[in-house]
Structure 1
Amino acid sequence: MRLRVGWRASVSLSGTVLKYLSVAFLVPILVSLLYEREDLLVFVATMAGTALAGTLLERVGSPEDLGDREAFLMVGLTWLLVAFVGAVPYVLAGTGTIAHPVNALFESMSGFTTTGSTVMRDISVEAHSRELMMWRQLTQWLGGMGIVVLAVAILSELSVGGAQLMEAEAPGPGVEKLTPRIAETARALWLAYVGFSIAEVLLLSLLGATELAPNMTAYGALAHTFTTMPTGGFSPQARSIEAFSWAVQWAIIPFMVVAGTNFVLFWQLLNGDWREAVADSEFRFYAGVLASLTAIVSVLLFVDGALVDAENVGRVAGAIEPSVRHAAFQVVSIVTTTGYASMNFDIWSPPAQYALVFAMFLGGSAGSTGGAIKMIRWLVILKSIRRELFTTVHPSAVRPVRLAGEPLDETAVRGIYTFTLLYFVLFLGGALLLALDAARVDGFEIEVIGLITACAATLGNIGPGLGVVGPMGNFVDFPWTSKLLMVGLMWIGRLEIFPVLVLLTRAYWRS
């Protein structure tokens, strides 16, 4: 039986995306020209090689109308190719732990999927060039709103079939078409994304010009914006946002909240539909979860007093402002899957840490840059549970699950349950494989909480976990086989499971 997938068109369009992605290397090249020019040739060579590879792949076939099958293949293949391309500068630069090919691929996939888990042991602009560190940041910004969404927005070759492509890549159950043309919808999403990015750069730069944030430079403002808005979490500072003042930490929190919000709501606000935006049931649920978890963790930190001040010289038991600030920062960071750390939460009490582990499975809103399961799915699950309790008491009642007052199709409800079940199956299976691989390697020891949170962090595109993979730790000591497994988990998690798993079925290729 012949293949039923037009793979040549998928490969050709992936090549087109790769060719235009080469333009992104102009950013680290410009940074190199402004500073020491340590890795200038690395990025010039990578840019040329990426453009050539994209051009050659583009010639494999011709862009033609995309069906659902071709869209799945194109999106999955594009994200793999982009990760491999992003790893090349790390290998060519040849500095630090990320010079190893497997480590480079891990760091690149973690960047583009906005995971934020790292295998970089020495995180600083002293150990690595500024341009290499900025490339690391930029990979997250490019991957945040979506490589394919960006391509649909700017490339005419992808305008036809763009809806299928965005559906396959979209973070959440479906893409709301904001405008008559899907390319205009993609542009609207990216314009909102760019607008908030500019606002954050300006705010952090202004803080850096005052005594409130003396160590926040223009370079740092741009670098951290590149990883806040995509909910990525990479930082050129070894201690993440703990390296900055309380003012910077408070300033970043609202941008993380925005990044975890459905960007469709901002489009509605710009068009004057503020009532509809404010009344959005998912947003209200999202805000309620953030507020509730922040309150709980704040109380736990206040009572326990397990906060370490900026100079790491002691505890500040009973301090209200630090308790609220660190609780709000870490809850928002984990729920939105940003992965920043305002302090080492490995020193927190077990109840506070358990709250963060719980937050790892929540995720941001659909249509945001956040990962994990997503708020909309949890909202539907809770509504359906309430419906089941009601119909248990009233067997003859017909009570559909409603969102925004409209009944939700039962197929959509089943799809959400299926996704959530698959997510936990992959999580448990991944944790088991990591444990088996760890036991296979002599001399490698890791606690159970480290294994569990390592799997949750990579599948949910969260970044840090607890223990050895905590906020001040890294993933570098894992066996190379485990790192490749986690590369796969990051890829699957970013593409919301189904677009990847469907490629592994015989029915996709043959029937």
Structure 2
Amino acid sequence: MKRFLTVQKVLGLLLMLFSVTMLPPAVVSLIYRDGAGLPFLYAFALILGLGFLIWLPSMRASHELRVRDGFLVVVLFWVVLGLSGAIPFWLSDEPELSLTNSVFESLSGLTTTGATVILGIDNLPHSMLWYRQQLQWLGGMGIIVLAVAVLPMLGIGGMQLYRAETPGPMKDTKLTPRITETAKALWYIYLWLTVSCALAYWLAGMSSFDAIGHAFSTVAIGGFSTHDESIGYFDSTLIEMIAVLFMLLSGMNFALHFLALRRRNLGVYAQDSELRFYLFLMIVVTVIVTVALFYTNTYIDWEESFTHALFQTVSIGTTTGFTTAAFYYWPPFIEILLIFLAFIGGCAGSTGGGIKVIRFLLLIKQGLREIGRLIHPNAQLPVRIGGKVVNHRVVDAVWGFFSLYVATFTLMYLGLAATGLDLLTAFSAVAACINNLGPGLATVGAHYFGMHDVGIWILCVAMLLGRLEIFTLLVLLSPAFWRR
């Protein structure tokens, strides 16, 4: 019982912390006088009150959190967070969204998916535009990672939350001896990238509002924009290349940025096997797409073909989801290639979605090892990454993750197809949501407006599974989890 009281206490504190994020959009509403600030004030009061009511009965609980408690807090918080974040959308007159669509938009932002059910984004009030971008920025690094830096001050350990929240097979590696300092280091890098990106956008010609909003979603690998045409609205090659740079940086393991800054040595990047493979994939796919766009006469010159190919490859490969062109109308080969690239996603320890580059690299190396064993049955052939032998438990975990990923993807694909969607739309919608990409193909290329409510809820689950890396959510369904 004490264990659940402590979980309840943490959940209440996190909700009260989240309620404060409703105030910046209200301030933006005052600055731009858009008359749309009240839903955010109502949401602030409701979420703060709910958090307080959850926290009050458990305020004296002091039971130490265990690993399984961390999983429970993280899953409960992301579910409650998605519902709480939907309140402003639901209460607002612009846009007018049903409860189902409000939850979808909220979860899409917080999980940095970037899929939307809103039409006419250009006509939304500034406060609502800010709120959508802010949701992605907060969800990018994870509010819980930020909270890890705060909870020790309240007498609650943060390591279990960090382990449950942070994605990737190498997540137990700490950047600093103290987990609180690790969380702070991650957020300092995240903040530094955001400020740098916003300044670059502003100097390239964006308004300050658009620059900050797009910096939020670029560094978060989110993909929400303040315009219906996304980055294509600005019609600027310079802005597109700035976006490419910061999407690439944000798709890298943040631990590399930390080590490079601390050691003042860029050689850290060159030594990382995952990063080298990540950049190799981006280069190869960019070349293939460039050639395909040119020779299918999608674009008439090499420069335009290369610019669009580079941007969309990086945007989709990092699972950001920005667009400069309607890639879902490109030749089918290119569409499918890009969607498959999103399955790989960003590096572990980044804000990107997908399976993660390190897992994909381990799957390849494991496959090559099995081929080697067929040729040399008695040979000892360890899997190596960066010259170091990878523990067999990590390899087993990657295979377990991959099998669960494929199984859950298949079930949701069948479920979505059962709602009446054509197979390409159903496939790409699940792929875009479970990989936290956003735009899909066919009828979900530009938006998800008009989709059946059942399909929307299936995709909400897909976004959560993708954000929580499958295991974190599915572990709660195991009977062993609930045993003492």
Superposition TM-score tier, normalisation by shorter sequence? over 0.9
Q: Partner of 1:503 in structure 2?
A: 476
- Describe the shift of the 1:495–1:403 C-alpha distance in structure 2 as closer, same or farther (beyond 3 A): same
Q: Which runs of 5+ in 1 are unaligned?
A: 209-215, 308-316, 439-445
Paired amino acid for 1:468: T
CA distance in 2 between counterparts of 1:184 and 1:459 reads 31
- Contact 2:317/2:342 (<8 A) preserved: yes
Q: Provide the aligned C-alpha RMSD in A.
A: 1.5
The Cα of 1:185 is off from its aligned counterpart by 0.3
**Is the contact between residue 13 and residue 158 of structure 1 (CA under 8 Å) also seen in structure 2?**
no
Q: How far, CA to CA, are the matches of 2:37 and 2:160 in structure 1?
A: 38
Q: Deviations 1:462-501 (Å, cap 9, x if unpaired)?
A: 100101111xx21121111111111111111100011111
For residues 114 and 325 of structure 1, what CA distance do their matches in structure 2 show?
Answer: 24
Report what 2:422 is aligned to: 447
Q: TM-score, normalised by structure 2?
A: 0.96
Q: Structure 1 residue aligned with 2:438, among 451, 463, 478?
A: 463
Look up the equivalent residue of 2:114 and give its one-letter code.
G
Answering whether residue 212 of structure 2 is matched by residue 230 of structure 1, we say no
Report what 1:423 is aligned to: 405
Deviation for aligned residue 1:424? 1.2
* 1:154 is aligned to 2:129: no
Give the distance between the partners of 2:172 and 2:438, measured in 1 at CA. 25
Where does 1:337-348 land on structure 2 (aligned, <5 Å)? 337-348=319-330
For the pair 1:487 / 2:478, whether they are aligned, the reply is no
- Report the alpha carbon displacement of residue 381 of structure 1 after superposing the two structures with TM: 0.8
Residue pair 2:133, 2:213 contacting (<8 A) in 1 also? yes
SS of 2:405's partner is helix
Cα distance, 1:37 vs structure 2: 3.8
Superposed CA deviations along residues 164-200 of structure 1, whole A, max 9, x for unmatched, are 2111111212242011110100100110000010001
Aligned residue type for 2:85: G
- Higher mean alpha-carbon deviation, 132-141 vs 266-275, is at 266-275
Separation of aligned partners in 2, 1:158 and 1:370: 31
How far is 1:277 from its partner? 3.2
- Cα deviation for residue 275 of structure 1 reads 2.8
1:187 aligns with 2:184: yes
For residues 168 and 349 of structure 1, what CA distance do their matches in structure 2 show? 40
Unaligned runs of 5+ in 2: none
* 1:217 aligned onto 2:207: yes
Q: How far apart are 1:368 and its partner, in Å?
A: 0.1
Matched to 1:80, the amino acid is: V
Deviation at 1:504, TM superposition (A): 1.3
In the alignment, structure 1 residue 253 sits paired with structure 2 residue 244: yes
C-alpha distance after superposition, 1:228-267 (max 9, x if no partner) = 1111001111111111122211111010001110000011
How many residues align? The count is 479
Q: Percent identity?
A: 39
Find the counterpart in structure 2 of residue 101 from structure 1. Answer: 99
Aligned mates of 2:155, 2:471 — CA distance in 1: 23
Q: CA deviation at 1:152?
A: 0.6
Q: Deviations over 1:345-365 (max 9, x none)?
A: 122112211211211211100
Q: Are 2:297 and 1:305 equivalent residues in the alignment? A: yes
Please name the residue that 2:113 is paired with: 115
Q: What's the counterpart of residue 6 of structure 2?
A: 9
Q: Secondary structure at the match of 2:294?
A: helix
Distance 1:158 1:33, change over 3 A: same
> Is the 1:159–1:182 Cα contact (8 Å) retained in structure 2?
no
Matches within 5 A, 1:357-368: 357-368=339-350
